[in-house]
Amino acid sequence: MKYLNILVLMFFISSCSEKEADVEHLLEYEKDGLSFSYPANWEVTEDTESDSFRFVFVESPGNAIVKIEVYPIEDSFDLREFVDLDIEALINEIPSMIAVDGSNKVKEINTVINGAGFDGYRFDFNISIVNIDVPHVSEFYSFPSLKKVAYVTNQVAIEDLEKVDGGFKQVLTTFKLN
């Protein structure tokens, strides 16, 4: 439900001007075996944990978000299965006044950052409200450890991707799950 609320909020603030990710000045996040660095003008807005999952949200000043979900290895999914479940939840849980066009195919991607490769998936979709279309993109990656699996989802309006891509890359290249 929180993911849905954040998505709806993101749509309404998408008219706000996104700022460049401040990758010259980084903040470090380290808590309970999870660590990464992120742009100084972004904010960790939530870190919720239960026995069976953990959600961490990192948000830009505009509408970009990094969603981190951590599950025990026995409750984890294959990355593609996770992507399909996430897209299904997005489409089925969105309020009726907002339309999500999820007809695009999920594509395999390999992101290379400073020589390191990250295999994942990309999903382009359109959010529409009152006949205003806002194309979005989500990228999905997984980080397994011995006892847990973390899924990292980056999401932003496509028009703002260039401004925040450096921040997304910063989280990916520094992400650690112990």
* Buried-exposed string 48-82: b where 16+ CB fall within 10 A, e elsewhere: eeeeeebebbbbbbbbbbbbbbbbeeeebbebeeb
Q: Looking at residue 95, what DSSP letter applies? A: -
Q: What is the pLDDT of residue 9?
A: 47
- Per DSSP, helices labelled H in 23-115 are 79-93
Total of domains in the chain: 1
Tokens (6 digits) for 12: 């309404």
Q: Of 105, 172, 113, 112, which Cα lies nearest the Cα of 143?
A: 172
Taking all residues of the chain, what is their mean pLDDT, rounded to a whole number?
Answer: 89
Residue 156 has a CB neighbour count (10 Å cut-off) of 26
Say yes or no to pLDDT of 177 above 80: yes
- pLDDT category at 2 given cuts 50, 70, 90 is low
**What confidence tens digit (pLDDT) does each residue in 135-172 have?**
999 999 999 999 999 999 999 999 999 999 999 999 99
Residue 60: pLDDT band (50, 70, 90) is very high
What is the rounded CA–CA span in Å between residue 27 and residue 39? 6
Burial class (CB in 10 A: 0-12, 13-18, 19+), 110: exposed
pTM > 0.95: yes or no: no
- Domain span at residue 116? 2-177
CATH number of the structural domain spanning residue 115: 3.40.1000
- The pLDDT value recorded for residue 14 is 45
| Average pLDDT estimate for 2-13 | 50
Q: pLDDT (tens digit, 9 = 90+) per residue, 86-141?
A: 999 888 887 777 788 877 899 999 988 888 889 999 999 988 877 788 899 999 99
